[in-house]
Amino acid sequence: MADFTFGKRPPSPAPQRPRPASAPKNDTQQISCRATNPLSLDDDLGKVFLDETQAKATTATRLFRNDDLFDATKKLVGDFLSSNKSGKFSMWSTGCSSGEEVYSMAMIALGEFARAGKQHPLLEAFGTDINRNRIMEARSGVYRRPGKDAFNANYWRLLNQYAEVDASSVHMGDMLRGICQFMLFDMRNKPKKHTFQFIVCNHVLQYYDAPGQRHIIGNLTAVLKPGGTMYLEGLTQHGLDGTGVRKIDGTSNLYRIETERRPSGLTKIRPR
């Protein structure tokens, strides 16, 4: 798996064929995500996440899946906008499967930008996955229409605003597709170049053993902006040990780096 360098858009995949709206999407959605035998870093992920006939893991996902993730997105974007920081608000969902999570986060963020009267070019959302087919689906931005009770009225309002919703399908709109970028990336590798205010790893870590979780978290913290936040779901005991990452509060899935790194090369001079 090539180590994708953030910052460059990869060449468009060919051919880009949107999934027909009527095609069944993510039949695995009902399968439990909890791995019975956690994966280690040496496992052949090609056999696990690319061939979903193996019951060990799934690429299941859906639009507006976790309220707490979207509440956190809303708050972080709101804080960013009210702080008047320069630069873009940059988010990354690693292990995004077919992209619904990234589009959902982007819609939430766009809602906050609109509320604050700010321009969306200040927003960017990346989604990466190890599964090429899922990344192709994410890039197509076409999904089967969720049932009317799939999520609450606020989420439906955002979906109707930023996507075209017809009787059977959802087509993500141009603005969303301009903001959301999808790439193949194996999170066992170190990401390069780009840094993020918000990194999301949702329904993924549970598949890995504790050394695997710690390794992945090390890779994510390397590209977290100072003061940035991570949403880490599925951590098991010892998955954080020695990573320098701590929970923001007792119950949420939100994490920060314990002590912010000093710029490299600088050492604290002890007063005489």
Ligand X SMILES: C[S@@+](CC[C@H](N)C(=O)[O-])C[C@H]1O[C@@H](n2cnc3c(N)ncnc32)[C@H](O)[C@@H]1O
> At residue 157, what are phi and psi to the nearest 5 degrees?
-60, -45
Choose, by CB under 6 A, the member of 26, 38, 58, 81 that binds ligand X: 58
Handedness of CA 18, 127, 121, 117 (dihedral sign): positive
Q: Is 43 in the site for ligand X (CB under 6 A)?
A: no
Q: Is 197 in the site for ligand X (CB under 6 A)?
A: no
The window from 5-13, 53-61, 117-125, 157-165 that contacts ligand X (CB under 6 A) reads 53-61
Which amino acid type is present at position 208? Y
Q: Is 188 in the site for ligand X (CB under 6 A)?
A: yes
Return the exposure string of 255-268: e unless at least 16 CB atoms fall within 10 Å of the residue's CB, then b: bbbeeeeeeeeeee
| Residue keyed to tokens 């999934």 | 19
Residue 26: CB minimum distance to ligand X, A? 9
Structure tokens at 81: 């906008």
Instruction: Identify the three-state secondary structure at position 79.
Output: helix
Q: Is 253 in the site for ligand X (CB under 6 A)?
A: no
The window from 138-146, 150-158, 197-205, 255-263 that contacts ligand X (CB under 6 A) reads 197-205
Q: Which is nearer to ligand X, 81 or 159 (CB)?
A: 159
Q: Is 187 in the site for ligand X (CB under 6 A)?
A: yes
Choose, by CB under 6 A, the member of 26, 73, 90, 202 that binds ligand X: 202
Alpha helices per DSSP H over 171-224: 174-179, 210-221
> At residue 186, what are phi and psi to the nearest 5 degrees?
-95, 115
* Interacting residue ranges for ligand X, rule: CB under 6 A: 33, 45, 49, 58-61, 65, 93, 95-97, 101, 129-131, 134, 186-188, 202-204
